[in-house]
Amino acid sequence: MIKLRRENYINKIEEGSISLFYSGEQKHKSNDQFFPFSVNRNFFYLTNIDQANVVLVVIKGKNKSESFLFIEKQDPIKALWEGKTLTFEEASTLSGIELANIKDINTLDTFINTQLGISRANIFGEIDKVYFDLEKIKVNDFLTNTELIANKLKNNYPSLQILNSQRKLASLRMYKDELEIKDTLEAINITNKALKHVLNALKPGLREFEIEAEYNYILNKNNTETSFDTIAASGKNATILHYVDNDDIINDNELILFDLGVKYNNYCSDISRTYPANGKFSTRQKQIYEIVLKANKETIKWLKPGRTMKEFNDFGKQILIDGLKEIGLIKEDSEITKYYYHSLGHYLGLDVHDVGLYDEVIKEGAIITVEPGLYIEEESIGIRIEDDILITKDGAINLSKDIIKEVKDIEEYMKNR
């Protein structure tokens, strides 16, 4: 499966090119500590390897294409302090790259220069293009290590074309294979276990961080971690979209909104649920909740290949508008922005807000979130209901359908806990 991903990538790039993908480095936190390592997602997608200081090289020649992996040789002294790294054999098994093409990372520069040098003593023919995985979150960000390497190569080989592989990988990662769906499902299943544990513990008087700790307990028991900073927002805090302080007291008669996820083998779940702290929705809370739930359920039914992201957002948003009009909270469509101020969903995968080409139609194999919400600050009510949806040729499959969200199911569960 991993080999097929590389083949699909090769089919998208130009002939006479070399592509470089870096797993990333583990950054120093202090003199004797490191930040947790987070692998480059495009590198992981193409190799299935989660280790620092590894480089994937993909070459597409005129008549031949091949992949190479450059890793550190095992250091027995370093292993005593930090643990063993992958052997060449293990890297070959994980990546599907033949053992003969797993090489010492210290030979990488020589290898690249051999492919690009004047003699071009290689079996691939002339290589005049290099693809780099280039991404900037902000225009004025500092140059990344990858960009520095790209600039160095360009200086050494002025005729070289520097190309960006980002969009090509985004177009592949938008649509999930069987392994990706399996890992996403496992992340969702662990999320479900953790949310049941949360429901068992939830009661007025706790602080938000205490109930967050109950969630983290189950993740730790399953040897995994959150896919993003958990939102546990009670009362008025739930009207703040990215509230992460999680330090308020959960009061009686309040709702608490959870937006949370699990990372399993680097694949993410992203789930939102809203629960009554005391186990019972008030009449008003239920009224608003049912509007959001209808938007969630009806949009999931409506989704299928060929829909656009704009159509997707407009469809769910209109249900929220109609619901608020029906209860008299708004009179004009434009007033919805007071109570709803985010998009209905996004692609999900190796990142929570995963790469995707939002100007293209949604196709079979995509996993997207459906997360309508309403936020009524003056009533201290914030509600969001989010599921993770697989798009198939026959329509949408709710991968998180087992995580309860009906009012009666939530109240019944909390009553009998």
Q: What is the pTM of this model?
A: 0.93
Contact at 8 Å (CB) between 62 and 16? yes
Q: For 206-215, write each residue's pLDDT tens digit.
A: 999 999 999 9
Per the model's pLDDT, the better-predicted residue between 354 and 121 turns out to be 354
Q: What pLDDT score was predicted for residue 217? A: 98
Burial class from Cβ neighbours inside 10 Å (0-12, 13-18, 19+) for residue 355 reads buried
Q: What pLDDT score was predicted for residue 35? A: 83
Give 224's Cβ-side CA count (13 Å radius).
26
Q: For 338-348, write each residue's pLDDT tens digit.
A: 999 999 999 99
Q: For 178-207, write each residue's pLDDT tens digit.
A: 999 999 999 999 999 999 999 999 999 999
The whole-angstrom separation of Cα 185 and Cα 349 is: 11
Of 153-157, 313-317, 410-414, the range with the lowest mean pLDDT is: 153-157
Q: What pLDDT score was predicted for residue 297? A: 98
Q: What pLDDT score was predicted for residue 139? A: 47
CA angle, 90 as apex, 87 and 95 as ends, to 5°?
125
- Helix (H) / strand (E) element for 367: namely strand 367-370
The whole-angstrom separation of Cα 115 and Cα 391 is: 41
Average pLDDT of the residues in 53-68:
94
Q: What pLDDT score was predicted for residue 120? A: 46
Domains of the chain: 2-172 (3.40.350.10), 178-415 (3.90.230.10)
Q: 185: which 2 tokens?
A: 């499902």
Per the model's pLDDT, the better-predicted residue between 27 and 177 turns out to be 177
Residue 118 scores a pLDDT above 70: no
Q: 302 phi and psi, to 5 degrees?
A: -75, -30
**DSSP codes, 210-228:** HHHHHHHHHHHHTT-EESS
Q: 105: which 2 tokens?
A: 């990372």
The whole-angstrom separation of Cα 162 and Cα 166 is: 12
Per the model's pLDDT, the better-predicted residue between 113 and 253 turns out to be 253
Q: Which residues pair with 22 in a beta bridge?
A: 55
Please tell me the total number of residues recorded for the chain in this structure: 417
Rg (CA), the chain: 24
Contact at 8 Å (CB) between 233 and 257? yes
The whole-angstrom separation of Cα 349 and Cα 353 is: 8
Q: 265: which 2 tokens?
A: 């083998």
Q: CB-based contacts of 290: which residues, under 8 Å, 6+ apart?
A: 323, 407
Please, what is the angle between helix 407-415 and helix 178-201, to 10°?
A: 50
Three-class SS state of 368: strand
Q: 229: which 2 tokens?
A: 């900073």
Q: What share of the chain is helix, strand, coil (3-state, %, to 5)?
A: 40, 20, 40
φ/ψ bin of 53: left (φ > 0), alpha (ψ from -120 to 50), beta (otherwise): left
Q: What pLDDT score was predicted for residue 148? A: 78
What's the pLDDT band for 311 if we cut at 50, 70, 90?
very high
The whole-angstrom separation of Cα 312 and Cα 304 is: 10
Give 152's Cβ-side CA count (13 Å radius).
10
The whole-angstrom separation of Cα 13 and Cα 163 is: 10
Q: What pLDDT score was predicted for residue 142? A: 54
Contact at 8 Å (CB) between 272 and 385? yes
The CA-atom distances, in angstroms, between 307 and each of 86, 300, 330 are: 43, 12, 28
